[in-house]
Amino acid sequence: MESSVDKSLFIYVKDGLQLFVLVYVDDIIITGSNKEAITRFIAQLGTKFHLKDLGSLNYFLGVQASRDSNGLHLRQSKHILDLLHKTGMAGAKPISSPSTFGKKLTAFDGDLLPDPSQYRMAVGALQYCTISRPDIAYIINQLCQFMHSPHEGHWTSLKRVLRYLKGTIDYGLYYTPSVTELHAFCDFDWAGNPDDRRSSSGYGIFLSNNLISWSAKKQSVVSRSSTEAEYRSLALVTAKLYWMIMLFKELNITLPKCPIIWFDNIGAFALASNLVFHARTKHIEVDYHFLREKVLNKDIQVKHISIANQIADVFTKGQTAMRFKFLRSKLMIWLLPISLQGGVRLNTTEDLSQDLT
């Protein structure tokens, strides 16, 4: 059957057998509970379509997948290296962080670029890098806002991102076996945009210690207070969590506890926890009722966390080099394990994933 929450996902469940098929145009990933059933399914597909079985998943849509005895590492080294060559940055000196602490990009930062095509190409390619590199999501969101009219200052910031990636080319998300507990970190940057004073929202959703969803996004309206900006951010991550809960149900994954959202704004925490609807919150009524409904139904929990431990801070503003490295480690963005470097391929006979084209 087709998934109701993801139209590219197809699910087969019968007599204890589970098969999951993820389709993107002519690229397919298949996994399931029985390797022999997967092999039979691939053979059946081969009678209807011309396909090639590429074996255990190691490369899919530009993302490299490597396994060791402890987990799965996803990276985009080839994509990044190609981009460095295209932009003439392959020989650039590496830098320790992708953005400058305290600096905000503006619409008029230097002179207009005479030819914006390379900027647009590079930003688009960098946006694709965020699939395995959420550590650059904040600055890429900033750079995307100037695609229509890039200036020299924007190009300078873009080159800083490339220099950072040059020094971390083999970094990527690392996933390890975990318990099925969802929790999220949610943050905001109130009125942070110097041009229109809109706020930014950022969140990271974790399955135990593994980051599985994230966002760095400019809010669509101006928030009158920091509490309102945080509350809109909470509504955004709540919607994503609710979508994820529905997906888990379709995958027959049981969550032993309701998800927790951690955030650091006292005012938003009081608003989310208070059953009384105040007149001063009327302008955010839709977000209020949506969030309150999920809290009252115990679909989610909201809890306060200190700013120092707010992991989502990396999605809303530039950090010092030391703070950035700390937050990056919390996102589980690690260097490719030594055991997987040098082209070594490990035995993956226990893995059920297949990659077809």
More confident residue, 93 or 229: 93
Residue scoring higher pLDDT (209 or 285): 209
Residues 6+ apart with CB under 8 A from 186: 201, 202, 203, 230, 233, 234, 236, 237, 261, 262, 263, 312
Residue 242 CA to residue 258 CA, distance in Å, equals: 10
How far is it, in rounded angstroms, from Cα 137 to Cα 143? 10
User: Could you tell me which CATH number the domain at 176-305 has?
Assistant: 3.30.420.10
Distance CA 58, CA 173 (A): 14
Distance of CA 27 to the CA centre of its chain: 21
The mean pLDDT value of the chain amounts to 87
Phi, psi of 188 (to 5 degrees): -150, 165
The answer to which of 5-14, 185-194, 345-354 has the lowest mean pLDDT is 345-354
The domain segmentation of the chain, as residue ranges, is: 9-64+349-356, 74-172, 176-305
d(CA 310, CA 130): 20
Query: What are the CA-CA distances from residue 305 to residues 205, 261, 344 (Å)?
Result: 15, 9, 42
pLDDT tens figures, 255-279: 999 999 998 877 666 666 565 545 4
Please count the other Cβ atoms lying within 10 Å of the Cβ belonging to residue 6.
Answer: 14
Query: Which pLDDT value is given to residue 70?
Result: 87
Q: What is the pLDDT of residues 157-181, one digit of tens each?
A: 999 999 999 999 999 999 999 899 9
54-72: pLDDT as tens digits: 888 899 999 999 998 889 9
The pLDDT value given to residue 353: 36
